[in-house]
A and B are shown apart, each in its own frame.
Chain A
Amino acid sequence: MSNDHDHDHAHGHRPPAPMVEEISDFEALEIAVRELSIEKGLFTAEDHRRFTEFAEHIGPTPAARMVAKAWLDPEYKKLCLTDAIKASFAVGVDWLNPTGFGTPSDYTDLRVLEDTPTRHHVVVCTLCSCYPRPILGFQPEWYRTPNYRRRLVRWPRQVLAEFGLSLPAEVEVRVEDSNQKCRFIVMPVRPAGTDGWTEDQLTEIVTRDCLIGVALPKPGKTSNIKLPVHHAVNPAHPH
């Protein structure tokens, strides 16, 4: 902090990060629902805070790092395939968080699906969009939609093609419908062009889309697909 202060004195103040300066109806709705729920005893503020902090700390990097480590270390890879919950500790994830027994929608049975040159996995939850949040963060919006959930099990190659992924006919596309307590991530095949790469470099190309199975890792590709956003419901009012 003191470094920033000195820096500002030396070079002038940096502009503050932009912030939204109005309270939207949605923001007020969220607060109101939460406060009323707590007052009605549906949950306690403390329990809610615990789950909110969990939500704030999860993201896809641990799962990416798990795959990168497995690519570099055959023993760790074996652990990922036989006891992924235990393997999660090595990337900083304890599936028992934040309650001491896991969350009500993630449970504590992670499985890693190993791709081979002749088999590619892709994950869906047709029932409701279950997802390995502790190690992968939140589901992308498209994963939650009935559109993805209904179609992937039935026309997987068509859906994958919409993500830009086309696989040869002889490759087995294996869909995992995660409908019970197990949660799944895909371990893709390590791509060509990554010889001598560090764990950090490899982690960067194992994107969330690769871990779900709708993309393959590639040197230089570090971002996920951007699907069309809904039209703005109420465009910005002129000021």
Chain B
Amino acid sequence: MTDAAMKNAPAGSAAAAANWSPIPLLEGIKEQGRVWGDLAGQYGVENPDPPWKTSLEGMCDVLAEGQCALPPLERRWEEDEMSESIYKDVPFPERQLLALAHSLIKRGLVSEGDLANRIKQVHERLTAA
């Protein structure tokens, strides 16, 4: 974590932003993934939020409880820094999701490889249904 994050200032310095090297798997999703604004527009769905948003928020909360695998303040500061650098142009809440995945990978809590495989399986599972 950067000095700025440790000193409680919200991220913004060039130094803070420079800490975030892109993760290829997540870059691919960022580049190719269709955001909710586009999907809802295309299909005429009025809900302003994607259906997975509440599950994402559930994850952020549950990771801050119990064994506290990802403390919320750290997660939010990292999200701030990523929101001003590598995920700058990603809408919300896609940005929050990418930042969460990034923080988990960076901490070694999940691996990029495992995540890539699981994403493939999920796509197969859901499109076969």
Which residues of A are at the interface with B, using a C-beta cutoff of 8 A?
18-37, 40, 42-43, 47-56, 99, 103-105, 126-129, 138, 141, 144-146, 149-150, 229-236
Interface residue total, chain B, C-beta cutoff 8 A = 71
Contact A40 B38 (CB under 8 A): no
How many angstroms from the CA of A35 to the CA of B120 in the assembled complex? 13
**In the complex, chain A residues whose CB is within 8 Å of the CB of B31:** 233-234
- 26 A–B contacts from the bound complex (CB under 8 Å): A18-B44, A20-B42, A23-B123, A25-B28, A25-B33, A26-B33, A27-B50, A27-B52, A28-B123, A29-B101, A31-B52, A32-B121, A33-B101, A43-B65, A47-B65, A50-B58, A51-B58, A51-B61, A55-B58, A127-B73, A128-B76, A141-B92, A233-B31, A234-B33, A234-B38, A235-B38
How many angstroms from the CA of A46 to the CA of B73 in the assembled complex? 24
How many angstroms from the CA of A236 to the CA of B115 in the assembled complex? 26
Contact B72 A27 (CB under 8 A): no
Q: How far is the CB of A227 from chain B (nearest CB, A)?
A: 11
Contact A146 B80 (CB under 8 A): yes
- B18 located at the interface, meaning its Cβ lies under 8 Å from any Cβ of chain A in the complex: no
How many angstroms from the CA of A28 to the CA of B54 in the assembled complex? 15
Which residues of B are at the interface with A, using a C-beta cutoff of 8 A?
8, 10-12, 28-46, 50-59, 61-70, 72-73, 76-77, 80, 83-84, 89-92, 94, 97-98, 100-101, 104, 109-110, 114-115, 118-119, 121-123, 126-127
Given contacts A23-B123, A230-B91, contact A104 B76 (CB under 8 A): no
**In the complex, chain A residues whose CB is within 8 Å of the CB of B41:** 232, 236
How many angstroms from the CA of A37 to the CA of B111 in the assembled complex? 10
Given contacts A22-B34, A26-B94, A36-B118, contact A105 B44 (CB under 8 A): no
**In the complex, chain B residues whose CB is within 8 Å of the CB of A25:** 28-29, 32-34, 119
- Which one of B34, B43, B51 lies within 8 Å of A18 (CB-CB)? B43
Contact B122 A51 (CB under 8 A): no
**In the complex, chain B residues whose CB is within 8 Å of the CB of A28:** 119, 122-123, 126
How many angstroms from the CA of A234 to the CA of B122 in the assembled complex? 21
How many angstroms from the CA of A83 to the CA of B46 in the assembled complex? 38
Contact B35 A233 (CB under 8 A): yes
Contact A23 B110 (CB under 8 A): no
Contact B97 A29 (CB under 8 A): yes
Given contacts A40-B109, A43-B66, contact A20 B39 (CB under 8 A): yes
How many angstroms from the CA of A49 to the CA of B59 in the assembled complex? 9
Contact A33 B37 (CB under 8 A): no
How many angstroms from the CA of A25 to the CA of B32 in the assembled complex? 8
Contact B122 A37 (CB under 8 A): no
**In the complex, chain A residues whose CB is within 8 Å of the CB of B36:** 24, 26
Given contacts A33-B104, A129-B76, contact A49 B58 (CB under 8 A): yes
How many angstroms from the CA of A235 to the CA of B118 in the assembled complex? 26
Known: A25-B28, A27-B52, A146-B80. 4 other contacts (CB 8 A): A26-B34, A29-B97, A128-B73, A234-B31
How many angstroms from the CA of A20 to the CA of B10 in the assembled complex? 36
Which residue in chain B gives the minimum CB-CB distance to A239? B42
**In the complex, chain B residues whose CB is within 8 Å of the CB of A103:** 61, 65
Contact A232 B35 (CB under 8 A): yes
